[in-house]
Amino acid sequence: MSFARSTHSHKVSFLVDKRYQKGMSQTPPPFQVKVVPVTPFQQNCSIIRAPSGVAAVVDPGGEPEKILKAAEEFDARIEKIWLTHGHLDHAGGAEAIKRATGASIEGPHKEEIFWLEKIEESARKYGMPGGENCMPDRWLDEGDVLTLDGLEFKTAFTPGHTPGHVVIYHEGARIAFVGDVIFAGSVGRTDFPRGDQQTLIDSIISKLWPLGDDMQFVPGHGPMSTFGKERQTNPFVSDAVLARTPR
Ligand SMILES: [Zn+2]
Ligand SMILES: [Zn+2]
């Protein structure tokens, strides 16, 4: 369903800002993140846990039982479900998590509705039982704010991989959840209906790069990276590659 080249399994729980671990700040970390790869696509579902235990789940694409168990082990109470886009491996488990927890579903942008309405069809096609069509409680658009127990996350509208893709980030903690826009060393596929490569590249340059080189990101698949590292090394969107690509 997405760029599935990098599929090594990794289960990480990390403090979102390494400066806190180095003792450079007296401020306690604003939240913790646990990444749980789900579905045969090894999609990175992130559990964001505020200090009080209240949590948001980003892209619960499937295996809702595994996500709920991970949340329990993390002592996290899921109150929000945030979706970057409507693909099966990102949104297929959202309704099940909502039923189990009462959490509201926020995102993606309303242009994703055609994908959200055919999750079950995609699930049959890919032989992934359990994926459910999904209807968000709130659509997101550029600049929208998402709240979690007093924490504020922001939305960037980043079409290209899909027409209503959004990226969710926390400015102060320097972390972004980018779905299938960009990966460590790659970018999202654009050969799906209504995907567009130039739109994707424009989204990356105009919406992600301005967030700063030190912004870490959790992609939909594979290991984390930073925007600065991708600007140096990504074979699709590094500064050097884009400088010699006619636009
Ligand atoms: Zn994906
Ligand atoms: Zn996708």
Domain boundaries, the chain: 12-243
Alpha helices per DSSP H over the chain? 18-21, 64-73, 88-91, 94-101, 113-116, 119-126, 197-203, 227-233, 239-243
Output the CA–CA distances (angstroms, integers) from residue 13 to 33, 105, 161, in the order listed.
6, 23, 28
Closest listed ligand to the CA of 86: 2
User: Mean pLDDT throughout 116-144?
Assistant: 95
30 vs 167, residue with greater confidence: 167
Measure Cα distances from 123 to 81, 142, 203 in Å: 20, 29, 28
Alpha helices in 13-78 (DSSP H): 18-21, 64-73
Computed over every residue of the chain, the mean pLDDT equals 91
Asked if 132 contacts 92 with a C-beta cutoff of 8 angstroms, the reply is: yes
CA of 5 to the centre of ligand 1 (A): 11
Measured in Å, residue 241 CA sits from the centre of ligand 2 at 24
Q: Indicate whether 8 pLDDT > 90.
A: no
pLDDT > 60? residue 41: yes
Cα of 133 from ligand 1 centre, angstroms: 16
Report the separation in Å between the CA atom of 1 and the middle of ligand 2, taken as the mean of its atom positions.
Answer: 5
Helix (H) or strand (E) holding 136: none
Q: Is the pLDDT of residue 198 over 70?
A: yes
Eight-state DSSP code of residue 151: E
Q: Which CATH number fits domain 12-243: 3.40.50.10800, 3.60.140.10, 3.30.365.10, 3.60.15.10?
A: 3.60.15.10
Distance 138 CA to ligand 2 centre (A): 20
| The CA-based dihedral angle spanning residues 97, 140, 144, 68, taken in that order and rounded to the nearest 10 degrees | 10
pLDDT in tens, 154-173: 999 999 999 999 999 999 99
Give the number of whichever ligand sits closest to the CA of residue 192. Answer: 2
Q: What percent of the chain has pLDDT over 90?
A: 84
- Using alpha carbons only, give the angle 97, 102, 103 rounded to the nearest 5 degrees: 70
Q: How far apart are CA 58 and CA 135, in angstroms?
A: 15
CA of 21 to the centre of ligand 1 (A): 30
The C-alpha atoms of residue 222 and residue 239 are separated, in whole angstroms, by 22
Which of the ligands is closest to the CA of residue 38?
1
Rounded to an integer, what distance in angstroms lies between the CA atom of residue 30 and that of residue 36? 20
Residue 7 has what pLDDT? Answer: 39
Is residue 214 over pLDDT 90?
A: yes
> What's the pTM?
0.91
Tokens of 72: 């329990």
Residue 133 confidence class, pLDDT cut points 50, 70, 90: very high
Query: How many A from CA of 127 to the centre of ligand 2?
Result: 17
The pair of three-digit structure tokens given for residue 80, joined into one six-digit string: 């929000």
Say how many Å lie between the CA of residue 218 and the centre of ligand 2: 14
pLDDT for residue 36: 97
Radius of gyration over every alpha carbon of the chain, rounded to an integer in angstroms: 17
**Cα(43) to centroid of ligand 1, in Å?**
6
